[in-house]
Structure 1
Amino acid sequence: MPVRPPLPDSVSPPSTVNGWVYDDEASWNAHVWTAPDAPQSVAIFDHFDEVAVKAIDDRVQGLHNRAPVATVDAVENDRSASVVRAIDKAVDWMEAISPGAWKHPAVNEAVFDPPPGYELTHYYIESREVIVYYHREGTHEDQRPTGSTTADGLEVTTETYPYLVVKTWRGSGNATVALAPWDYAHETEMVDVRNPPDGCGLDISLTIARDYVAAVIGDDTNPPAVGQANLTAWTQ
């Protein structure tokens, strides 16, 4: 059972605020409001030294799918008072921003438009890197042998390596475009299929991945994919 941040007996979180709906069944140790028609949440977390209000893009995995909204210093001998102040800040934010109107500053919408023949399975935003996994539709992944960190013996095709992985370092912008034989593959199990230019960032690396798919299995996308960058300024 989740443990909610403490509140005085006389205080209850508001059930609705400007279209945001309080979720009594949320699995997090937090007070959570969700957007019924958008994959977004607002949550209040009780950390060691502060109570934090965060807006969350629920389409994305990783700790950095949570964008900070406000913080309140935790009062050790009356933590419930800090949570009440955090709720006030959350309510102010939700009253100003209706569900669907908020955009996570680190989320790239182009990720959600996979190359033709692929489907998005994972989009992670971590502190140091962004990792995107696409899965080739109609294919089945092999099972990783117990203890293995390589995929020796597999011929590298988009069928035997059904995952297309785009990884970008958030600091340098350096990127990898690779195939993987299974989900959550180790670096040693992936095979690079393109060499993105140094510092190209996520927009370009996603476009290079789409360009690879177009060359290998074809691409009849019309109109052009969402957010795909122009490659004419880059060399591969």
Structure 2
Amino acid sequence: MPKPALPADYELSLSIDGWQYDADDSSNGHVWRSDEHECSVGVYDNIGSISVRVTDDRVDGFASYEELERIDYDRDRRDGVLLEGIDAARGWMGETDPAAWAHPEVCEAVFDAPVGYTLETYYHENREAIVYYRREGADDGVDIDVRGSDGPEGLSHANAPYLYVHEWRGSGNATVALAPWTEAHGPGSKHPDITPVVETPSECGLEVAVTMARRWAREYADKEIDTDASGQAALERWSA
């Protein structure tokens, strides 16, 4: 996508205290990135406003970033406001080392995948969080007809490619289930494609749900669960 045009005589700062300008970035913004810490700062033209955002690049979804500043503009002030946004981004990066920033709503427990699985996608949206872990060695296709005669009840650890964790962010209610593919119809659907594998406590939140997913996966593996993984201690407060 085209970048917001800069004045002809303007020179961007290519390196700012650990943040490096990414000339190959394909978004519609000017982006500085820290590959080591998987986060980025971008200045975007939203047609009518300039926004400055810092993003957790490990995460997908519309809530994967924090907006640092948004400046509205009239058409004849667009260039000046764009430079204001770049100055704001440069000032923030000058004060914030990449290692010092963390998205306050991203759940670190998600990145410690259950044994036998690898993290495929973590969607962080305004209303929900959705995580897909892919089973190691899983085939690309699914033989179970989850939308036909078999139903999602036919999914098992042996044939389901994905372990699915979902949280409604407002309530904290969560689901741990098997899924046949990513973008599966989840708990909000009249005809879900998933089949739950554990009963999660009401309002337990994503961290506890991920821990329960790890415990479920442990039943099918020969490895010990990582007791130091993020989120493990959180399950204790839900014990009877």
- TM exceeds 0.5? yes
Q: Is the 8 A contact 1:40 1:99 kept in 2?
A: yes
| Aligned twin of 2:189 | none
Query: Matches of 1:11 and 1:205 in 2, distance apart?
Result: 49
Cα shift at 1:205: 0.8
1:215 aligned to 2:219?
yes
Query: Matches of 1:64 and 1:217 in 2, distance apart?
Result: 34
Cα shift at 1:151: 6.0
Cα shift at 1:125: 0.3
| Aligned twin of 2:45 | 46
Query: Matches of 1:156 and 1:24 in 2, distance apart?
Result: 44
Pick from 200, 222, 228: which aligns with 1:224? 228
| Aligned twin of 1:201 | 205
1:74-223 paired onto structure 2 within 5 Å: 74-143=73-142, 150=147, 152-153=149-150, 155-187=154-186, 188-217=192-221, 219-223=223-227
Q: Identify which range, 87-96 or 177-186, moves more after superposition.
A: 177-186
Question: What letter is aligned with 1:68?
Answer: E
Structure 1 residues 165 and 77, CA, compared in 2 at 3 Å: closer, same or farther? same
Query: Matches of 2:127 and 2:226 in 1, distance apart?
Result: 34
Q: Is the 8 A contact 1:213 1:219 kept in 2?
A: no
Secondary structure at the aligned position of 2:90 is classed as: helix
Cα shift at 1:19: 1.7
1:93-152 per-residue CA deviation (whole Å, 9 max, x = no partner) reads: 00011222211111111111001111000000011100010011112142589xx76264
Q: Is the 8 A contact 2:178 2:196 kept in 1?
A: yes
Structure 1 residues 151 and 133, CA, compared in 2 at 3 Å: closer, same or farther? farther
Please give the TM-score of this superposition, normalised by the length of structure 1. Answer: 0.91
1:73 aligned to 2:77?
no
Secondary structure at the aligned position of 1:139 is classed as: coil
Cα shift at 1:153: 3.1
1:7 aligned to 2:11?
no
Q: Extract unaligned runs of 5+ from structure 1.
A: none
Q: Extract unaligned runs of 5+ from structure 2.
A: 187-191
Query: Matches of 1:77 and 1:102 in 2, distance apart?
Result: 35
Question: What letter is aligned with 1:203?
Answer: E
Question: What letter is aligned with 1:229?
Answer: A
1:161-204 per-residue CA deviation (whole Å, 9 max, x = no partner) reads: 12110000110111111001222222321001112111111111
Q: Is the 8 A contact 1:7 1:81 kept in 2?
A: no
Query: Matches of 1:76 and 1:144 in 2, distance apart?
Result: 55
Q: Percent identity?
A: 38
Q: Is the 8 A contact 2:210 2:231 kept in 1?
A: no
Secondary structure at the aligned position of 2:165 is classed as: strand
Structure 1 residues 31 and 230, CA, compared in 2 at 3 Å: closer, same or farther? closer
Query: Matches of 1:161 and 1:25 in 2, distance apart?
Result: 37
Cα shift at 1:235: 5.3
Secondary structure at the aligned position of 1:63 is classed as: coil
Q: Identify which range, 47-56 or 112-121, moves more after superposition.
A: 47-56
The two structures, once aligned, show a CA RMSD in angstroms of 2.1
Question: What letter is aligned with 1:227?
Answer: G
Q: Identify which range, 109-118 or 2-11, moves more after superposition.
A: 2-11
Query: Matches of 2:63 and 2:78 in 1, distance apart?
Result: 25
